[in-house]
């Protein structure tokens, strides 16, 4: 099994650890840290976007200077959502307020409201809005990078199997090209928000698998 750049992901360096068994939210941090302590890079398949905060929190001890590329229709910068500070709508507010990322770059955003715009200014988030997206303007990253890919970043025509459809989104080719353009070390990643109950002929599942393959190839 090869990526588009002819990198084989069929090797002993990739180990599927199966499903995380958790009883409480921050078990995600503990499990991630256990894998990191063995020298692994962790690629997590969600789950909703709430999983990203405890994962990145686990990375902080080993990678105190970390950049994040967040690909999504939503900025997920709410201070709290429906009374929950750890909601799927809040992970990047938690990450930035705790200083777990030096730079946060968001791509594909097309649902920003006033509160989240203020949050983005507060935390110096670099947002590349979908309405005027130019992928050639995505900055070069200076630190090790963590990628967080929400499947609703894609236009629903490519990824119907998500809970929150938002038309006017990214194409699969745009995201593949963006991933392939990264020229710094990728030390971890997640793909989140796949909803099989809304998928059509497994389109979104196949797309998520394709993205996983391409990101894995870049992580090796």
| Number of folded domains that form the chain | 1
Does residue 50 sit within a domain? yes
Q: What is the pLDDT of residues 162-181, one digit of tens each?
A: 999 999 999 999 999 999 99
Does residue 159 sit within a domain? yes
Query: At 80, which CATH number?
Result: 3.40.800.10
Is the pTM above the cut of 0.85?
Answer: yes
**Average pLDDT over the chain, rounded to an integer:** 96
Does residue 59 sit within a domain? yes
Spatial neighbors of 30 by CB under 8 A, at least 6 apart, are 58
Look at residue 191 and give its three-state secondary structure: strand
Q: How many CB atoms lie within 10 A of CB 98?
A: 12
Range of the domain at 202: 42-219
């Amino acid at each position: 099994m090869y990526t588009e750049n002819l990198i084989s992901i069929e090797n002993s360096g990739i180990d599927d650890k199966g499903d995380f068994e958790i009883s409480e939210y921050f078990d995600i941090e503990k499990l991630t840290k256990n894998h990191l302590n063995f020298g692994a890079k962790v690629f997590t398949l969600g789950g909703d976007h709430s999983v990203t905060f405890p994962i990145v929190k686990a990375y902080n001890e080993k990678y105190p200077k970390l950049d994040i590329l967040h690909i999504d229709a939503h900025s997920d910068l709410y201070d709290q959502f429906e009374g929950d500070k750890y909601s799927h709508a809040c992970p990047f507010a938690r990450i930035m307020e705790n200083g777990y990322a030096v730079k946060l770059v968001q791509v594909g955003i097309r649902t920003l409201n006033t509160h989240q715009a203020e949050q983005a200014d507060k935390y110096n988030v670099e947002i590349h809005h979908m309405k005027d997206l130019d992928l050639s303007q995505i900055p070069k990253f200076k630190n090790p990078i963590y990628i967080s890919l929400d499947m609703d970043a894609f236009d629903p025509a490519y990824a119907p199997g998500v809970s929150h459809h938002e038309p006017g989104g990214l194409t699969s080719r745009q995201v593949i090209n963006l991933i392939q353009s990264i020229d710094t070390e990728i030390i971890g990643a997640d793909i989140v928000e796949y909803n099989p109950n809304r998928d059509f002929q497994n389109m979104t599942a196949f797309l998520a698998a394709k993205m996983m393959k391409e990101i894995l190839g870049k992580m090796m």
